[in-house]
Amino acid sequence: MPEEQMVTANRPISHEGRTYHMGTKRGELANRIITVGDHQRARHLSTFLDEIRFEHLSPRGFLTITGLYRSHSISIVAIGMGLSMMDFFVREARMVVDGPLSIIRFGSCGSICDDASIGDVIIAQEAFGITRNYEFFEESRGEPYKIWPMVKADPKLTGEMERRFIKELGSVVKGSVGNADSFYSSQGRKGDEFYDANDGLLESIREKYEGVVGLEMESHMLFHLAKWSTGRDNLRPPSIRAACVLMVYADRQGDRFIDPQTSKYLVEKSATVILDTLVSDLTT
Ligand code: R1P
Ligand code: URA
C-alpha cells in the first residue's frame, strides 16, 4: 500500500480523509462551530441556518450539521457528554479544518450560586476541572476530589457574545464554571448506591473559587485545549478561540430542574445571538 494511503494507529484517518470518531473530512466542517451536548438541541439550532449543506451522524454519536448563516459557513456539532467527547471533538475538528477555529459551546449546567436560577443564561469567563481522585478511594491518600487550575475563555469572543446576549435578554450571569467528570459524584450530588465521599465538595469548590456560578461537564476541556492549540502552516498559536454559554437546567440550591418548554424557549432566544457572534468580524 502506498504510504499516503496508510491508516496509522497514531492518527487513524480513513483513506477518504475522515477522522475515526467524528467521521468528517476537510471541507465538511466549518471554521466557526457551535457545539452542544444533545442531538435535539443541534437539530433545533440548525433550523436557524439559512441553508443546510452537509449532515453526518458518526457511529460514535457525533452529529455534524454544516450550513450557511448570513453567507458564512457554520457547523453545529452534537458531541454527547463529558471530557473525552470534548477531547475527541476538538482534536478531530482541528485535524480537518485549515485556518483559525472559533468554537462556542452552548450547553446546560447546574447553578450553585444565588444569582442564577432555572432559565437564566450563564456566560463562562473561565473554567476549572473537578475530578474524582482515585488515590483517595484506592489508597486512602489525599482528598476525594481534585479541583484543577482555572483556564480563561477567549476574552474577545466571550465579550462579543456577552454584549449580544445582554441586548437580547437584558441581563446574563457571568462567572467561573466547574467542569466535573461526573454529573453525580464530582458535582456533589448525593445518593446511597456508591461511596462518593462528596459531603463537603461544593463548599470546597466555593472556598477555592469564590466566583463559581455553575457546574457542567465540558467547558474546561474546551478552554484548556484551545489554550494549548499550537500554530500550524501560517497559524499563530493558539489557533482556536473558545467561549461557552450555558442554560441553567438545575437549581442546586433550590433543588429544582428545568421543564422542556423553558429549555426550548432558551434555545430560541439564544440561537441567533450565538450565530451572530460567530459571524462577527472578530472570528475571521
Ligand atoms: C449532563 O446532563 C450534560 O448536560 C450538560 C453537561 O455538561 C453534560 O454534558 O451539557 P449539555 O447540555 O451540553 O450536554
Ligand atoms: N448539566 C450538568 O452537568 N449538571 C447539571 O446540574 C445540569 C446540567
Element (H, E) at 191: none
CA 256 to the chain's CA centroid: 23
Average pLDDT over residues 160-166: 98
> Which atom of ligand 1 is nearest the CA belonging to 106?
13
Alpha-carbon span 211 to 181, nearest angstrom:
20
Do 116 and 101 meet the contact criterion of CB atoms below 8 Å apart? no
Which region, left, alpha or beta, applies to residue 236 given φ > 0 means left and ψ of -120 to 50 means alpha?
beta
Q: Are 222 and 152 in contact (CB under 8 A)?
A: no
Looking at every residue in the chain, the average pLDDT score rounds to 95
The answer, yes or no, to whether any atom of ligand 2 lies below 6 A from the CB of 243, is: no
> Which of 81, 105, 128, 247 maximizes ligand 1 atoms within 8 Å of its Cβ, making it the mutation to test the pocket?
81
277 lines ligand 2 (CB under 6 A): no
- Residue 235 CB coordination number (10 Å): 15
Confidence at 1, pLDDT banded by 50, 70, 90: very low
Query: 3-class DSSP state for residue 26?
Result: coil
180 with 139: CB under 8 angstroms? no
CA of 247 to the centre of ligand 1 (A): 10
Q: How far is the CA of 216 from the centre of ligand 2 (A)?
A: 5
So what's the pLDDT on residue 172? 97
Q: What angle do CA 146, 147, 150 make, to 5 degrees?
A: 145
Strand 51-57 to strand 63-69: parallel, antiparallel, or no bridges (unpaired)?
antiparallel
pLDDT digits over 207-217, tens only?
999 999 999 99
3-state helix, strand, coil in the chain (%, to 5): 30, 30, 40
What's the pLDDT tens digit per position in 65-98? Answer: 999 999 999 999 999 999 999 999 999 999 999 9
Beta pairing partners, 77 = 35, 64
Comparing 8-12, 144-148, 199-203, the range with the smallest average pLDDT is 8-12
The reported pLDDT for the residue numbered 132 is: 98
Residue 198 pLDDT = 98
151 and 220 Cβ atoms separated by less than 8 Å: yes
- Residue 6: per-residue pLDDT: 81
What grid cell was written down for 61?
454519536
Does residue 109's CB lie within 6 angstroms of at least one atom of ligand 2?
yes
CA distance 280 to 104: 13
- Domains of the chain, with CATH numbers? 3-283 (3.40.50.1580)
C-alpha 198/C-alpha 133 separation (Å) is 11
CA–CA–CA angle 48, 49, 50 (5° rounding):
115
pLDDT surpassing 70 at residue 284 = no
